[in-house]
Amino acid sequence: MKAAIRNHQTRMQRVLDHIDRHLDEDLDLETLSRVAAYSKYHFHRQFTATFGLSVHRYVQLARMKRASYRLAYRDSQNVTDIAMDAGYDAPDAFARAFRQRFGQSPSSFRKSPDWEPWLAAFTPLDNARSKRMQRTFTADDVTIRDVPTTPVAIMEHRGDPATLGATIQRFIAWRRAAGLHPRTSPTFNVWRSERCPESPADYSVDLCAGTDRPVAPNGEHVKAGEIPGGRCAVLRVVGHTDNLEPAALFLYRDWLPASGEEARDFPIYCQRLSFFPEVPEHEAVAEVFLPLKA
């Protein structure tokens, strides 16, 4: 029974990966049923039963998520190109669909996103990916690494996680102006609170860009700091790295008690090695670091 369930999940994961990789193409039922190696007469019901979303709805949401990321974080791509990439024949049709889903026009969202409706709109997509296709980790996935001290520029986010997107926008704009491109300046998130604290006001994370340059005074309150070196348990996560909480929980709940190690007095953090939408979501890579005592 377990082997059969794993086989089904593997086939469905293959479909999700194919969708991510081919968002610009025609993702019809016949094509996706072949990817899953299921009959086209039953695949759509199997997909809906597994993910709680129809294939059409899932593809719509995946395309709209990529479009919204490009609007918020990529100034260089115009709205017409983004609309075409999202599967719309005309910018007007894209704008209507976008406003219906998020309550803002694409141009308004680009200037000043309202992140709460955005988060709510993608809850079904996030649930389909994370809750219905649980990722499992084992002790073999964890390595212990001696990491060097890394000087970083830090932008702090303090407060409701629903407003984190706005902080990320400001951080991207600042590092772009500072010439700290992710290809040459590593990107870190240092989690100073749990992902969903009892009070949203207590949410706390540092957005960091690795640099040994002095950080000039700036209006974004970006400051110089460092991620201290030392021994760390490292867990690599590939695909859908929006939510790294399952990886962090595995390290704390399963790996740490069994390892005989003790956590060092610095927060758990991650390094983001490749990013969506620069790569398809299933190819995004992050490493989660749990600092350990020597």
Domain edges within the chain: 2-131, 139-291
What average pLDDT score do residues 108-136 get?
Answer: 84
Query: pTM for this structure?
Result: 0.85
Fold of 2-131: Arc Repressor Mutant, subunit A (1.10.10)
The values of phi and psi at residue 145, to 5°, are -130, 140
- Domain 139-291 annotated CATH 3.30.420.10: no
Average pLDDT over residues 206-212: 97
- Average pLDDT over the chain reads 92
What pLDDT was estimated at residue 209? 98
Q: Which long-range contacts (CB under 8 A, 24 or more apart) does 179-186 make?
A: 180/153, 180/209, 180/211, 182/209, 182/272, 182/275, 185/209, 185/210, 185/211, 186/150, 186/210, 186/271
- Residue 128 carries which side chain, given as an amino acid letter? A
Q: Specify the pLDDT at position 77.
A: 81
- Token pair of 291 as six digits: 């600092």
Tens-digit pLDDT profile for residues 238-253 = 988 988 999 999 999 9
